[in-house]
Structure 1
């Protein structure tokens, strides 16, 4: 059985995890989150994942690849990684290299995008995570940078690219079904 690996990306607070919970009601897949894989490898409590953006990025990516290889269910037809293509840290925006996605054997990159005002509200209302509170204009620019980098990664790797919104789960599901011939 050939396994399909999909990276669902987008900036922090866009709603990737909720989007994937909704998709899981219609299609079966293994859902892995990049932050949790890195946190587990670093022995960092899951509730302090936001601190990972201040850790060494190259080390985080090595830990992600290692953690993904260990957590990946070889029996799953579809594995979905919930993560980022850019990291916003005190050093500014850092782009995740395409080699990371190649090492993860990603077949499709999906970029989730939402209204920056809603992202800001979601970040402010999420007591479980400590995300930076940024103005909507900055979130808009970060989101544009993330989308362009996701598109560039897909092009570099010669794989598919799909844009989605949190409310557009049906298009995502349809696309995944066509990939898996379901």
Structure 2
């Protein structure tokens, strides 16, 4: 069996986890989240994961990779890693190096996108998270930067890159099944 590792990326609030929960109703895969893996390695509650963006980035990357290999089930054909390619520290965006995704064995890079006003509304409705409040224009810039960097990582790794929206759920399931 050849395991497929998909990096499912996008900015905070775009709805990655929501999209993947809907996808799980259509197909079987292991869903891992970067923030939860890092929080577990730091022995913090998963609901504290928003504070991770302020921690040492190199340490977080090391913990992510270690946590991934502990949590990843080698018997599952499809593993989807829900996370970010740029980290918003509140002051700036920091790009994760492609070496992180290479270490995970990523075979496909996917970037989930939504209209920035939808992302802003989604972020404001989610009271379980502690995210900075940004203008729609800032969210649009963050999403563009995330897309560009995800595409760059895919290029560095020589793997496929796809942009999806919430309306692409069925097509995405078909693509992953094929």
- Any runs of at least 4 consecutive aligned residues in structure 1 with deviations exceeding 6 A, and if so which? none
The 8 Å contact of residues 16 and 166 in structure 1, kept in 2 or not, is answered as: no
Classify the secondary structure of the residue corresponding to 1:6: strand
What is the SS of the residue equivalent to 2:143?
A: helix
1:91 offset after TM fit, Å?
Answer: 4.0
Give the secondary structure class of the aligned counterpart of 1:175.
helix
TM-score normalised by the chain length of structure 1:
0.96
Deviations 1:137-165 (A, max 9, x none): 00000000000000010000000111000
Structure 2's unaligned 5+ residue stretches are none
**RMSD, aligned CA:** 0.7
Tell me, in whole angstroms, the C-alpha distance in 1 between the residues paired with 2:56 and 2:129.
20
Structure 1 stretches lacking a partner, 5+ long: none
Question: Structure 1 residues 156-165 or 168-177, which shifts more?
Answer: 168-177
Confirm or deny: 8 A CA contact 1:34 1:83 kept in the other structure: yes
CA distance in structure 2 between the aligned counterparts of 1:104 and 1:173, rounded to whole angstroms: 22
- Secondary structure, in 3 states, of the residue corresponding to 2:166? coil
Is contact 1:116–1:140 with CA below 8 Å preserved after alignment?
yes
